[in-house]
């Protein structure tokens, strides 16, 4: 769904992989993906129905360009209502999950897991009670930032950017409440100072759901080696985005280069898939949808990553974090 720049962006769409059915242990090489599909909006990927994809990440996301600060929490609840209606119509084929155990149950039953998160603490409207309400509705992770400042933090790029400022007092309280509630803190889009503030404060693993790394390609969207190590030190994961603009080119090789850099700097327990299949970002052509993931497995093998490491990248690292209460 493409959203008007005149309104806060809020969609609840499949965006990132949270696990692929295989672990990279078969000997045959992959066949090419299906023909490219439009990037115009939310859709159900055919790989879901073929059982090759273990789950999807679904989240309302915000980029309030005109300074709106009220009504955002209500919009999130409306989006969760829509998701709940979709779950009810699926006949158990799509299920909301919060834990690694629930993901395993879905896999055993042939169902698709839906992991619910929010992109942008704008949705809290400066009120921690909103976080409690979202948690009761199944929200598993909260991205503190998006492309504009909010009561908790400042973006790496966008409206209200302030590189010299870190987490606000409210932002520190949000991190503490997230950990009390079992809501994972997502550091995608936050500025470096705020990012490191979270890592110093966190007692549980944070994530960076979708990003590139500047050690593989220099871009304002990407995080540096200090940030990689900071998340690694907390047991967290970093999902590599599939957008050619941020990884330095189209095709599989740039994405593999980013994954390899994370392994070299922070270890094989850190990288994950952070595709950003949201209908707005145009992904690398071989990875236009989940049917291309076996090609990525082949490319990672060609880059001399072990099958054990590939299994962690595809799902193991994310599941480890989801197993954290």
Which tokens hold the place of 219? Answer: 């871009």
For the chain, 325 residues long, give each residue's pLDDT as a single digit of tens: 222 222 333 333 334 544 443 333 333 455 433 333 322 233 334 444 444 556 666 655 554 544 556 789 999 999 999 999 999 999 999 999 999 999 999 999 999 999 999 999 999 999 999 999 999 999 999 999 998 999 999 999 999 999 999 999 999 999 999 999 999 999 999 999 999 999 999 999 999 999 999 999 999 999 999 999 999 999 999 999 999 999 999 999 999 999 999 999 999 999 999 998 877 889 999 999 999 999 999 999 999 999 999 999 999 999 999 999 8
Architecture of domain 13-322: Alpha-Beta Barrel (3.20)
pLDDT at 42: 33
pLDDT at 71: 85
d(CA 72, CA 60): 10
Domain ranges in the chain are: 13-322
d(CA 158, CA 237): 24
Give Cα 240 distance to the centre of its chain.
9
Which tokens hold the place of 110? Answer: 């042939």
Give a three-class secondary structure readout of the chain.
CCCCCCCCCCCCEEEEECCECCCCCCCCCCCCCCCCCCCCCCCCCHHHHCCCECEEEEECECCCCCCCCCCHHHHHHHHHHHHHHHHHHCCCCEEEECCHHHHHHHHHHCCEEEEEEEECHHHHCCCHHHHHHHHHCCCCEEECCCCECCCCCCECCCECCCCCCCCCHHHHHHHHHHHHHCCEEECCCECHHHHHHHHHHCCCCCEEEEECECCCCCCCCCECHHHHHHHHHCCCEEEECCCHHHHCCCCHHHHHHHHHHHHHHHCCCCEEECCCCCCCCCCCHHHCCHHHHHHHHHHHHHCCCCHHHHHHHHHHHHHHHHCCC
pLDDT at 23: 33
pTM listed for this prediction: 0.85
Of 82, 105, 76, the residue nearest 92 (C-alpha): 105
Backbone angles phi and psi of 324, in degrees to 5:
-75, 125
pLDDT at 56: 64
124, 64 in Cβ contact below 8 A?
no
pLDDT at 280: 80
Instruction: Give the C-alpha distances (Å, rounded to integers) separating 84 from 58, 87, 97, 191.
Output: 12, 5, 12, 33
Taking the CA atoms of 89, 107, 320 and 268 in sequence, report the sign of the dihedral they define.
Answer: negative
Tell me how far apart the terminal alpha carbons of the chain are, to the nearest angstrom: 33
């Amino acid at each position: 769904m493409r959203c008007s720049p005149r309104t806060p962006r809020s969609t609840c769409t499949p965006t990132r992989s949270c696990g692929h059915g295989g672990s990279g242990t078969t000997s045959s090489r992959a066949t090419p993906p299906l023909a490219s599909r439009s990037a115009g909006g939310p859709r159900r990927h055919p790989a879901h129905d073929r059982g090759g994809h273990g789950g999807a990440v679904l989240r309302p996301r915000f980029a309030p360009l005109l300074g709106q600060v009220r009504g955002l929490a209500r919009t999130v609840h409306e989006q969760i209502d829509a998701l709940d209606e979709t779950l009810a119509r699926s006949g158990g084929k799509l299920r909301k999950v919060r834990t690694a155990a629930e993901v395993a149950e879905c896999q055993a039953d042939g169902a698709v897991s839906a992991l619910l998160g929010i992109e942008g603490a704008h949705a809290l409207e400066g009120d921690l009670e909103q976080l409690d309400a979202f948690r009761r509705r199944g929200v598993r992770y909260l991205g503190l930032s998006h492309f504009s400042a909010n009561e908790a933090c400042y973006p790496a790029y966008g409206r209200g950017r302030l590189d010299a400022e870190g987490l606000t007092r409210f932002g520190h309280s949000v991190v503490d409440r997230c950990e009390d509630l079992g809501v994972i803190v997502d550091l995608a889009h936050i500025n470096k100072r705020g990012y490191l503030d979270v890592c110093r404060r966190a007692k549980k693993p944070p994530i960076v759901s979708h990003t590139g790394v500047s050690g593989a390609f220099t871009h304002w969207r990407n995080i540096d080696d200090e940030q990689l190590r900071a998340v690694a030190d907390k047991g967290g994961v970093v999902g590599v985005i599939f957008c050619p603009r941020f990884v330095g080119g189209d095709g599989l090789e740039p994405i593999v280069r980013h994954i390899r850099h994370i392994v070299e700097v922070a270890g094989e327990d850190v990288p994950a898939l952070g595709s950003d299949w949201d209908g707005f970002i145009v992904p690398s052509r071989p990875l236009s949808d989940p049917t291309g993931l076996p090609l990525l497995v082949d490319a990672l093998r060609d880059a001399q990553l072990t099958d054990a490491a590939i299994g962690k990248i595809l799902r193991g690292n994310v599941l480890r974090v989801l197993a954290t209460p």
